[in-house]
Chains A and B, each alone.
Chain A
Amino acid sequence: AQSVTQLDSHVSVSEGTPVLLRCNYSSSYSPSLFWYVQHPNKGLQLLLKYTSAATLVKGINGFEAEFKKSETSFHLTKPSAHMSDAAEYFCVVNAGTASKLTFGTGTRLQVTL
């Protein structure tokens, strides 16, 4: 069985300040982990993925995430938030057979001036 927990349903930051979106996972297998972003009224777009290579993963738009097996975490960070980063972010785990993704409940990122 696999699951993912996003620890914050809503995060608000000021433009130019760091972003931290937290995600913990549970998996019986070696997982692959992803962060997807969803802008308002749009589909989901892959930000970055971890598939058992380097534990620090860089994605698009300056985002990165670090896989920490000892903490079962995969937190998403960005050094400096931009207004265009305002969106919903989903942490996703895939483990075991087939390509069945398990989504977290999402974190809404608000960026203020």
Chain B
Amino acid sequence: NAGVTQTPKFQVLKTGQSMTLQCAQDMNHNSMYWYRQDPGMGLRLIYYSASEGTTDKGEVPNGYNVSRLNKREFSLRLESAAPSQTSVYFCASSEAADSYEQYFGPGTRLTVT
């Protein structure tokens, strides 16, 4: 099993450009999450999907949209990138919304110039 996979690994965008970060898991997990990691701030939740067909805002949702395409896939879209969105983005999954253990992907390093 690959676990949680993310594409791309690295991306550079210009301000105002759009892009979609892809995430897939092969563990048959119901819940999926998007986090961003900034220096000295730990991880902050952007959006999550407790189950297929549902999405909810996390701590820092502004400037992002998500799509739970199916049970396996959960994408994060930046419609108009800003330098403040320069960060490392992690996708995670868990068996269920009340399952505390989350499994993380390797991350996407995004730079917005």
Q: Which residues does A use to contact B, with CB under 8 Å? A: 9, 32, 34, 36, 41-46, 49, 51, 90, 94, 98-101, 103-106
Contacts and interface: CB of A to CB of B under 8 A. Distances in A.
B2 to A, nearest CB: 12
Nearest to A46: B101
Q: What secondary structure prevails in chain A residues at the interface with B?
A: loop
B100 A34 contact: yes
B41 to A, nearest CB: 6
A103 B100 contact: no
A51 to B, nearest CB: 6
A98 B106 contact: no
B25 interface: no
Contacts, number: 60
Contacts of B33: 99
Interface residues of B, number: 28
Interface string B83-113: 0000000101010111111111111000000
B107 A43 contact: yes
B53 interface: no
B66 interface: no
B44 A103 contact: yes
Interface of B: 4, 31, 33, 40-45, 48, 50, 56, 58, 90, 92, 94, 96-107
A32 B100 contact: yes
Given A32-B100, A43-B90, A100 B105 contact: no
A41 B9 CA distance: 10
A106 B42 contact: yes
Contacts of B96: 99
Contacts of B48: 98-100
Contacts of B44: 103
10 tightest A-B CB contacts, nearest first = A103-B42, A43-B104, A44-B104, A103-B43, A43-B106, A105-B42, A32-B100, A99-B97, A94-B100, A98-B97
A107 to B, nearest CB: 11
Given A43-B107, A44-B90, A99 B42 contact: no
Contacts of B42: 90, 103-106
A93 to B, nearest CB: 10
